[in-house]
């Protein structure tokens, strides 16, 4: 492969050979005394170092640290995740022949001819360094550089250099030239926190390594010797001078023509914007995805394993959600609501895929707390549908069942718990449908006691709520802290008729070799809830939107909407969690420090319109569907 791109030639001119030979004699005489003392100590070091040298055959299974890539559901890049090493490993055939030749020309033009060490190259370096009275050339082959980077330290000693030479010879015995060059080009550091040719090409020129021109390749090859000095982002003029050196070397050894040399020198270089330190396009999403990956695979694999992650996020819907959140927050500020933050999570009810996630408003750099997945806040009345589901599932209650909304007290520790309604009034006998629509508290507490709080908690677990749920009498009124993502995922199971889904941000994960290691795209459908009870929940929650506290969530196209408002004590949290058959959406507003919002801020008045604003945009052009018929759920 290499020989197809590199003309084998006598690369050292005769006059230079004569100079080398004459100068080596002078150097040898002046170094004899130094070498004598060094060799004595070095022999011991050599014996020890050779005994402990690694087996180079481990490189056959060596997997260097690789950057993980995060994509949206349609394959658009969202973010790169990496630790200290930012690298994408690619096969040699995906690296431009221009770059292969340029690197070899400036770093090791005898690569095809030596067996790991280059005596002539070492002698040449001695000549140059002796004449300049400084260290200007090292004489190391590309194989030696690879060995030093992978196995050894930068210690300056005879034993280390001897070990380097020994390992280089061994590498050349075990691997062919193509394999060695491939390892080198994927390993070498190119500055700007970039390792490997592919990442360097993307960083400096915003293109793949396969697409590099001769001019770009020469500039890239020139960086290797001193990345901080020849970095074109730092000093383009110096980088161009170094590029000219590389091109001249390629010309001198016959690897390019005079025309190619001139054309490459004169070719305008268009630099990229740099990728090494770029931030995520959607930082709250990337943060949540990374946390989900870490929980499944561990932090080391996430930052070094070269994962390719297809998320469930649809960037079109994501941008839509971000715009709605910012517009709505601005409106709340204008109205003096006193809510500094909000969160939104939209979930595909058919599979639990999170299509959009807003973890907060304002610059992510200033506040990285992700309220969509990290903030556990009380749901208030938005918790009640879980209680009503448990009651309907007993078979003893239905939407038209009558329940008494009257004063009641329950023993609670050393005293009594007496729940109150929001308006401090009581309605007396009332249908469950009406009790849910106008969000009466007493019926929810009564039904919680009827079915048992433990049963309510058990059903919540079926719906994917993993946050702690205290077994207290007031739990039906939302006395538990739950994340918006959990809430949206749980309501999605009402939307789909009772099929099991778990809200997730990850559709599929492959390793660096393309093997699928996690796949959520084709999970078996499993009924987790009682379809009849779910149908009843959908009935009563549609009444909330038609004629209850959630009328502000009605959609202009008339499609069926179900949902529930939620407001906590002292107006610390306000929610609207609602759904259409295709999608569930949870919206929360409040303050991170739990301070109350303005008096009278409720989910129905201030949050339901935010829900509607997003849903009208997200469902535009989508078919109008009805909620599932319980008889069709199997």
Of 247, 266, 285, which residue is a domain's last?
266
Task: Report the distance separating Cα 473 and Cα 413, nearest Å.
Answer: 11
Which string of b and e fits 186-221 if b means at least 16 CB within 10 Å?
A: bbbbbbbbbbbbbbbbbbbbeebbeebbbbbbbbbb
Kindly state whether residue 250 falls inside one of the protein's structural domains: yes
Segment (H or E) for 345:
strand 341-348
pLDDT beneath 70, residues of the chain: 1-52, 121-139, 152-157, 159-160
Q: Is residue 71 part of a domain?
A: no
**Domain stop point among 234, 266, 298:** 266
- Tell me if 59 is assigned to some domain: no
Prediction pTM value: 0.86
Looking at the fold, whether 494 and 624 belong to one and the same domain comes out as yes
Of the residues 381, 382, 390, 512, which is catalytic? 381
Which stretches within 497-619 are classed as H helix?
531-547, 608-618
Residue 423 contacts by C-beta under 8 Å, 6 or more apart in sequence? none
212 in any annotated domain: yes
457 and 327 in a single domain? The answer is yes
Same structural domain, 206 and 325: no
On whether both 526 and 613 belong to a single domain, the answer is yes
The DSSP secondary structure of 132-169, one letter per residue, reads HTS-------HHHHHHHHHH-----SHHHHHHHHHHHH
426 and 486 housed in the same domain:
yes
- Yes or no: say if 568 and 439 are a contact pair by the CB < 8 Å rule: no
Same domain, 461 and 377: yes
Provide the Cα torsion 620, 626, 627, 633; round to 10°.
Answer: -120
As a whole number of angstroms, the distance between CA 433 and CA 388 comes to 10
Same domain, residue pair 206 and 339? no
Give, for 482, the enclosing helix (H) or strand (E). Answer: strand 481-482
Q: CA angle at residue 267 from 264 to 268, to 5 degrees? A: 145
Whether 23 and 133 map to the same domain: the answer is: yes
**Residue closest to 38 by CA, chosen among 164, 130, 158, 162:** 158
* Residue 163: per-residue pLDDT: 78
Q: Which of 66, 107, 192, 486 is catalytic?
A: 107
Q: Are residues 259 and 328 both part of a single domain?
A: no
- 3-class state of residue 389 by DSSP: helix
Token digits of residue 379: 């749901």
CA separation for the pair 503, 499 (Å, rounded) = 13
Domain CATH number, residue 449? 3.40.710.10
Is-catalytic flag, 381?
yes
Q: Are the CB atoms for 398 and 392 separated by under 8 Å?
A: yes
Structural domains counted in the chain: 2
Tell me if 310 is assigned to some domain: no
Helix (H, G, I), strand (E, B) or coil at 380: helix
Q: What is the CATH number of the domain that holds 110?
A: 1.10.3810.10
3-state class (DSSP) for residue 377:
strand
**Is there a domain that residue 70 lies in?**
no
- Residue 577: which of 597, 595, 563 has the closest Cα? 563
CB atoms within 10 A of CB 156: 7
User: Quick check: is 288 in a domain?
Assistant: no
CA distance 464 to 485: 10
- Let me know if residue 11 belongs to a domain: yes
Cα atoms in the 13 Å half-sphere on the side-chain side of 235 = 12
pLDDT in tens, 269-299: 999 988 878 889 999 999 999 999 999 999 9
Do the Cβ atoms of 547 and 437 come closer than 8 Å?
yes
pLDDT in tens, 609-621: 999 999 999 999 9
Residues 23 and 116 in one domain: yes
Torsion angle (degrees, nearest 10) of CA 183, 185, 189, 191 = -160
Q: Are residues 238 and 383 in the same domain?
A: no
CA geometry: angle 343, 596, 599, nearest 5 deg: 105
Supply the range of the domain harboring residue 14.
Answer: 2-52+86-266
In this structure, the answer to whether residues 243 and 342 fall within a common structural domain is no
Distance CA 95, CA 471 (A): 61
For the chain, the maximum distance between any two Cα atoms, rounded to a whole number of angstroms, is: 112
Reduce the DSSP state of residue 619 to 3 states and report it.
coil
Active site (annotated) includes residue 216: no
């Amino acid at each position: 492969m290499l020989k197809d791109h590199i003309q084998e030639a006598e690369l050292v001119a005769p006059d230079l050979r004569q100079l080398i030979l004459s100068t080596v004699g002078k150097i040898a005489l002046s170094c004899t005394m130094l070498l004598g003392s060094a060799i004595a100590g070095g022999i011991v070091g050599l014996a020890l170092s050779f005994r402990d040298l690694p087996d180079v055959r481990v490189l056959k299974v060596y997997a260097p640290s690789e950057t993980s890539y995060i994509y949206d559901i349609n394959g658009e890049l969202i973010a790169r995740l990496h630790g200290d090493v930012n690298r994408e490993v690619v096969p040699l055939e995906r690296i431009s022949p221009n770059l292969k030749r340029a690197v070899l020309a400036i770093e090791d033009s005898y690569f095809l001819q030596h067996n790991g060490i280059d005596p002539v190259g070492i002698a040449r370096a001695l000549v140059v360094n002796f004449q300049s009275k400084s260290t200007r050339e090292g004489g190391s082959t590309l194989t030696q550089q690879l060995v030093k980077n992978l196995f050894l330290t930068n210690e300056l000693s005879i034993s280390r250099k001897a070990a380097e030479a020994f390992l280089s010879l061994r590498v050349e015995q075990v691997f062919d030239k193509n394999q060695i060059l491939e390892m080198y080009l994927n390993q070498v550091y190119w500055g700007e926190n970039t390792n490997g040719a592919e990442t360097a090409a993307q960083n400096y020129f915003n293109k793949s390594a396969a697409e590099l021109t001769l001019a770009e390749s020469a500039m890239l090859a020139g960086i290797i010797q001193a990345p901080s000095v020849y970095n074109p982002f730092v000093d383009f003029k110096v980088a161009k001078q170094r590029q000219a050196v590389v091109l001249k070397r390629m010309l001198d050894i016959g690897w390019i023509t005079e025309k190619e040399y001139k054309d490459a020198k004169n070719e305008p270089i268009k630099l990229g914007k740099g990728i090494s330190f770029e931030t995520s396009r959607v930082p709250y999403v990337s943060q949540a995805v990374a946390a989900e990956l870490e929980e499944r695979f561990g932090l080391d694999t996430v930052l070094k394993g070269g994962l390719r992650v297809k998320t469930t996020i649809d960037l079109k819907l994501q941008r839509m959600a971000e715009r709605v959140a910012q517009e709505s927050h601005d409106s709340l500020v204008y109205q003096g609501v006193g809510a500094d933050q909000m969160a939104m999570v939209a979930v595909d009810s058919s599979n639990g895929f999170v299509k959009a996630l807003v973890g907060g408003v304002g610059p992510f750099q200033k506040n990285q707390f992700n309220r969509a997945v990290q903030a556990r806040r009380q749901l208030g009345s938005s918790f009640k549908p879980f209680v009503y589901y448990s009651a309907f599932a007993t078979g003893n209650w239905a939407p038209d069942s009558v329940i008494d909304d009257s004063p009641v007290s329950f023993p609670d520790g050393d005293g009594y718990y007496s729940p109150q309604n929001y308006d401090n009034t009581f309605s007396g006998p009332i249908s469950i449908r009406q009790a849910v629509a106008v969000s009466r508290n007493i019926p929810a507490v009564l039904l919680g006691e009827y079915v048992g709080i433990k049963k309510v908690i058990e059903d919540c677990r079926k719906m994917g709520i993993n946050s702690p749920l205290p077994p207290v009498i007031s739990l039906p009124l939302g006395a538990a802290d739950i994340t918006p993502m959990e809430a949206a995922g749980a309501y999605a199971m009402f939307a789909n008729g009772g099929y099991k889904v778990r809200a997730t941000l990850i559709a599929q994960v492959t390793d660096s070799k393309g093997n699928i290691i996690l796949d959520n795209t084709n999970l078996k459908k499993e009924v987790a809830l009682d379809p009849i009870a779910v149908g009843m929940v959908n009935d009563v929650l549609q009444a909330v939107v038609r004629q209850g506290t959630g009328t502000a969530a009605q959609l202009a196209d008339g499609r069926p909407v179900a949902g529930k408002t939620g407001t906590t004590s002292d107006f610390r949290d306000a929610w609207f969690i609602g759904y259409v058959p295709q999608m569930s959406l949870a919206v929360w507003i409040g303050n991170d420090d739990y301070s109350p919002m303005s008096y009278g801020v409720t989910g129905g008045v201030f949050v339901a319109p935010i829900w509607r604003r997003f849903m009208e945009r997200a469902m535009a052009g989508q078919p109008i569907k009805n909620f599932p018929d319980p008889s069709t759920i199997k």
